[in-house]
């Protein structure tokens, strides 16, 4: 019973973390594209030059790679999420100081890594597969938005004790989400 409660507890914290730190880059891009396209110019040559410059700029940005081999847009999404960590810590910890540290990092192959380090040692064995099933519906909206930047995006969630010992590591991919949907439709 304690194990199930703890899994539910972690899932709620993860949900808040995803909500606070997710970045709807596709929405932002669409908004900025519509804003820039709504500006009209009187000269068709100015439009043509602007279009070519914008296209060149976007192509250069999408070809740029981070140190982890991901696109520059993906690295920017991670940096944006990292800027929200202080607010996330305040939201999740409240008066309890549940987590000593919360980190959001860029992993290789378009992986978003959430690392939650507890303030106090947790003496519990977590069932990674059960926790994964709880996290899948919580991660799905994040993965759906992040696919606009990296079609093969994955989420890796780690829960660690203060001494660095790992309590759980859960990886969620689009394949996991599709498999969970197929299971619930049967």
Average of per-residue pLDDT across 47-51:
36
3-state secondary structure 34-55: HHHHHCCCCCHHHHHHHHHHHH
For residues 96 and 127, the model is more confident at 127
Q: What does the alpha-carbon distance between residue 130 and residue 108 come to, in Å, rounded to a whole number? A: 25
pTM greater than 0.85 (yes/no): no
Residue 108 has pLDDT above 50, yes or no: yes
For residues 46 and 153, the model is more confident at 153
pLDDT at residue 45 in the model = 31
Residue 12 in tokens? 């709620």
Residue 48 has pLDDT above 90, yes or no: no
Tens-place pLDDT, residues 67-91: 777 889 999 999 999 999 999 888 8
pLDDT at residue 63 in the model = 54
pLDDT at residue 10 in the model = 47
Contacts of 87-91 with CB under 8 Å at 24 or more apart are 87/20, 88/16, 88/17, 88/20, 88/21, 91/16, 91/20
pLDDT at residue 89 in the model = 87
Lowest mean pLDDT, pick from 41-45, 78-82, 129-133: 41-45
For residues 63 and 116, the model is more confident at 116
pLDDT at residue 67 in the model = 73
Average of per-residue pLDDT across 111-135:
93
């Amino acid at each position: 019973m304690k194990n199930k409660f703890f899994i539910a507890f972690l899932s709620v914290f993860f949900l808040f973390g995803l909500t606070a730190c997710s970045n709807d880059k596709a929405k932002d891009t669409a908004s900025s594209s519509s804003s820039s396209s709504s500006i009209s110019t009187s000269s068709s040559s100015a439009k043509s030059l602007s279009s070519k410059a914008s296209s060149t700029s976007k192509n250069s940005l999408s070809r740029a790679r981070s140190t982890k081999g991901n696109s520059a847009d993906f690295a920017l999404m991670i940096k944006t999420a990292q800027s929200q960590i202080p607010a996330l810590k305040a939201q999740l910890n409240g008066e309890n100081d549940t987590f000593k540290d919360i980190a959001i990092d860029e992993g290789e192959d378009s992986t978003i890594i959430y690392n939650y380090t507890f303030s106090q040692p947790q003496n519990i064995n977590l069932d990674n597969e059960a926790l994964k099933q709880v996290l899948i519906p919580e991660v799905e909206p994040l993965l759906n938005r992040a696919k606009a930047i990296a079609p093969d995006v994955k989420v890796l969630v780690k829960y660690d004790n203060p001494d660095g010992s790992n309590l759980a590591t859960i990886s969620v991919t689009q394949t996991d989400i599709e498999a969970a949907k197929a299971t619930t439709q049967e």
